[in-house]
Chain A
Amino acid sequence: MKLRNTLLAAIGLAFAAGAAQADINVGVVLSATGPAASLGIPEKNTISLLPTTIGGEKVNYIVLDDASDTTTAVKNARKLIDENKVDVLVGSTTSPASLAMIDVVAESRTPMISMAASARIVSPMDDQKRWVFKTPQNDLQMASAIVEHMLANGIKKVAFIGFANAYGEGWHEQFKNLADDKGIQIVANERFNPADTSVTGQALKLMSVKPDAVFIAGSGTPAALPQKSLRERGYKGPIYQTHGVANNDFLRICGKDCEGTLLPVGPVQMARSLPDSHPVKASALKYVEKYEAANGAGSVSSFGAYAWDAGVLLEAAAPVALKNAKPGTAEFRAALRDALEGVKEVAGATGIYTMSAEDHLGLDERSRVMIEIRNGSWSLLK
Chain B
Amino acid sequence: MDMSIALILGQDGITNGAIYALLALALVLVFAVTRVIFIQQGEFVAYGALTLAMMQAGTVPATVWLLVAMGVLVTVFDAGAALRAGRHRRAAAVAGWNLIYPLALAAIMAMLPVASLPLLVQVFLTLAIVVPMGPQMYRLMYQPVASAPVLILLIVSVALHIAMVGLGLLFFGAEGQRTPAFSDASFELGTLMVSGQTVWVLVVSALLIGALYQFFERTLYGKALRATAINRVGAQLMGISPALAGKLTFFLAAFIGALSGVLIAPITTIYYDTGFLIALKGFVAAIIGGLASYPIAALGALLVGLLESFSSFWASAYKEVIVFTLIIPVLLWRSLNTGHVEEEE
* A contact set with B: CB distance below 8 Å: 38, 161, 164, 190-193, 195-202, 204-205, 208, 220-222, 224-225, 232-233, 249, 253
Q: Is the CB of A204 within 8 A of B316?
A: no
Q: Are A201's CB and B311's CB within 8 A?
A: yes
Task: Give me 11 A-to-B residue pairs in the complex whose CB atoms sit less than 8 angstroms apart, sorted by A's number.
Answer: A195-B271, A197-B278, A198-B308, A200-B9, A200-B309, A201-B12, A202-B313, A204-B5, A204-B8, A232-B195, A249-B175
> Contact string, B271-282, partner A, CB cutoff 8 A, digits 1/0?
101100110000
Knowing that A164-B317, A201-B9 are A-B contacts, what are 18 other residue pairs whose CB atoms are under 8 Å apart, sorted by A's residue number? A38-B174, A164-B316, A190-B316, A195-B271, A195-B277, A196-B312, A197-B16, A198-B12, A198-B267, A201-B312, A201-B313, A201-B316, A201-B319, A204-B313, A220-B175, A221-B271, A249-B175, A253-B175
Residues of B within 8 A of A220 (CB): 175
* Known contacts A198-B12, A201-B12, A221 near B317 by CB under 8 Å: no
CB-CB under 8 A from B319, the residues of chain A are 164, 191-193, 196, 201
Q: Which residues of B contact A193 (CB under 8 A)?
A: 319-320
Q: Is the CB of A221 within 8 A of B312?
A: no
Q: Assuming the A-B contacts A221-B176, A249-B175, A253-B178, are A200 and B12 also in contact, with contact meaning beta carbons closer than 8 angstroms in the complex?
A: yes
Does B36 touch A at the CB level, under 8 Å? no
> Would you call B269 and A202 a contact (CB within 8 A)?
no
Q: How far is the CA of A311 from the CA of B15 in the complex (A)?
A: 53
Interface readout for B290-326 with A: 1 if CB under 8 Å, 0 if not? 0000000000000000001111111011011000000
In the complex the two chains form, is B269's CB within 8 Å of A253's CB?
Answer: yes
CA distance A360 to B268 in the complex (A): 42
Q: How far is the CA of A268 from the CA of B319 in the complex (A)?
A: 38
Contact yes or no, A191 B12, CB < 8 A: no
Distance between Cα atoms of A16 and B195 in the complex (Å): 69
CB of B312 to closest CB in A, whole Å:
3
With both beta carbons as reference points, the residue of chain B lying nearest to A255 in the complex is identified as B178
Distance in Å: Cβ of A198 to nearest Cβ of chain B:
6
Q: Are B316 and A225 in contact (CB under 8 A)?
A: no
A198 surroundings in chain B (CB, below 8 A): 12, 15-16, 267-268, 308-309, 312
Q: Hey, which bits of chain B sit against chain A, CB under 8 A?
A: 1, 5, 8-9, 12, 15-16, 174-178, 195, 264, 267-269, 271, 273-274, 277-278, 308-314, 316-317, 319-320
Q: Across the A-B interface, how many residue pairs have beta carbons closer than 8 Å?
A: 84
Whether the pair A202, B178 counts as a contact (CB closer than 8 A) is: no
Q: Which residue of B lies closest to A192 (CB)?
A: B316
Q: How far is the CB of B292 from chain A (nearest CB, A)?
A: 27
Q: Is the CB of B316 within 8 A of A197?
A: no
Report the nearest B residue to A190, measured CB to CB.
B316
Q: Which of A190, A192, A201, A225 interacts with B269 by CB under 8 Å? A: A225
B178 — nearest CB in chain A belongs to which residue?
A253
Please state if B316 and A205 are interface contacts (CB–CB under 8 Å): yes
In Å, the complex CA distance between A164 and B277 comes to: 15
Q: Across the interface, which residues of A come within 8 angstroms of B317, CB to CB?
A: 164, 190-191
CA distance in complex: A264, B116 (Å): 38
Query: In the complex, what's the smallest C-beta–C-beta distance from A29 to chain B, in angstroms?
Result: 23
Chain A residues in 8 Å Cβ range of B177: 253
Q: Which residues of A lie under 8 Å from residue B16 when comparing CB positions? A: 197-198
- Residues in A with CB closer than 8 Å to B311 are 201
Nearest-CB residue, chain A, relative to B268: A197
**Residues of A contacting B313 with CB < 8 Å?**
201-202, 204-205
- Residue contact A225 to B5, C-beta cutoff 8 Å: no
Tell me whether A201 and B310 are in contact (CB under 8 A): yes
Chain A nearest CB from B152 CB (Å) reads 29
Which of A197, A204, A253 gathers most chain B CB within 10 Å? A197
Q: Closest CB of chain A to B263's CB: distance in Å?
A: 11
Contacts of B309 in A (CB 8 A): 198, 200-201
A242–B79 CA distance with the chains assembled, in angstroms = 57
Among A161, A193, A201, A225, the one with the most B-chain Cβ atoms within 10 Å of its Cβ is A201
| In the bound complex, CA of A196 to CA of B176 (Å) | 12
Report chain B residues within 8 Å CB of A191: 316-317, 319
C-alpha gap A275/B102 in the complex (Å): 56
| Interchain nearest-CB distance for A85 vs B (Å) | 38
Q: Distance in Å from the Cβ of B128 to the closest Cβ of chain A?
A: 25
Residues of A within 8 A of B8 (CB): 200, 204, 233
Contacts of A208 in B (CB 8 A): 1, 5
Knowing A202-B312, A204-B5, the reply to whether A253 touches B176 (Cβ < 8 A) is yes
Q: How far is the CA of A222 from the CA of B273 in the complex (A)?
A: 13
> A225 to chain B: closest CB distance in Å?
6
Most A-side CB within 10 Å, residue of B274, B277, B308, B319: B319
Chain A nearest CB from B280 CB (Å) reads 10
Question: How long is the Cα–Cα vector from A220 to B175 in the complex, in angstroms?
Answer: 8
* Complex: A202 Cα to B12 Cα, angstroms: 12
A106 CB, nearest partner CB in chain B, Å: 35
A253 to B271, CA, bound (A): 11
